[in-house]
Amino acid sequence: MKTAFGNIEMLLEAEIDEGRALSRAERRQLQVQRVLEAAKTCFAREGFQGASMQQICAEASMSPGALYRYFVSKEAIIEEICAAARRDDEEKLAEMLTKRDVIEGMVFGSMTHIRFVHETDAAALIAQFHAEATRSESVRLIYCNHMAEVRAIFLNYLGAALARGEIDPLFELETLVPALMSIIQGIANNDLPANGVALDKVETVVRTVMVSMLRPTQETA
């Protein structure tokens, strides 16, 4: 699992090189990020149930007293990881919505997610998160709420394209959007690039799926 520890250390060293002291808020954020990255590593390796706060402390090279200043429990760490993932998805989707061509927008959004999962080795953590969602009601609600928000964004984006006459979807959007989300999640979670499928080939697959299921009209094809 790749972590952001290197980036954290570089920021701390930069304040020395630049002669600027980090503010208390900036230092706190760096420490919070240190804990979150350590927790991701432990969760991917041990699972949410198997990982302990002691293991997270060791991974973060932080004392229990220091860690508990930022997070009172393992559940609080999980919730913040989920919240951070939600914020990251919102940024990616916001950029997707600037794409006037809906096929290009959907391919961009899909490939951004697929690349992120591949480049951060996030597949193992995502698998653990899905497993935890079957055991923890709070995690299940976080997951369901997030997926509902993403689904609504796609529905609005594609609905606007449909209203403009730019696509002729194979199914009604309420059926099509969850299906498309499942396909993209499956490609990302199985980390096809890590299994020898080049990213350009993955993009060809994604584009083919989008064109065949959204069916752009002659004017936008």
Helix (H, G, I), strand (E, B) or coil at 167: strand
- In this predicted structure, what is the pLDDT of residue 6? 41
- In this predicted structure, what is the pLDDT of residue 221? 42
For 18-23, which contacts have Cβ atoms below 8 Å and span 24 or more sequence positions? Answer: none
- In this predicted structure, what is the pLDDT of residue 20? 58
- Domain segments of the chain as ranges: 5-67, 74-214
- In this predicted structure, what is the pLDDT of residue 19? 53
Are 184 and 207 in contact by the 8 Å Cβ rule? The answer is no
Neighbours of 212 (CB within 10 A): 9
Q: 139-149: per-residue pLDDT in tens?
A: 888 888 888 98
Asked if CATH classification 1.10.10.60 holds for the domain at 5-67, the reply, yes or no, is yes
- In this predicted structure, what is the pLDDT of residue 46? 86
CATH architecture of 74-214: Orthogonal Bundle (1.10)
**Cα–Cα distance list, 38 to 1, 62, 79, 211 (Å):** 10, 10, 15, 40
- Residues lower than pLDDT 50 in the chain: 1-18, 220-221
Are 93 and 152 in contact by the 8 Å Cβ rule? The answer is no
User: Side chain identity at 194, as an amino acid letter?
Assistant: A
- In this predicted structure, what is the pLDDT of residue 45? 86
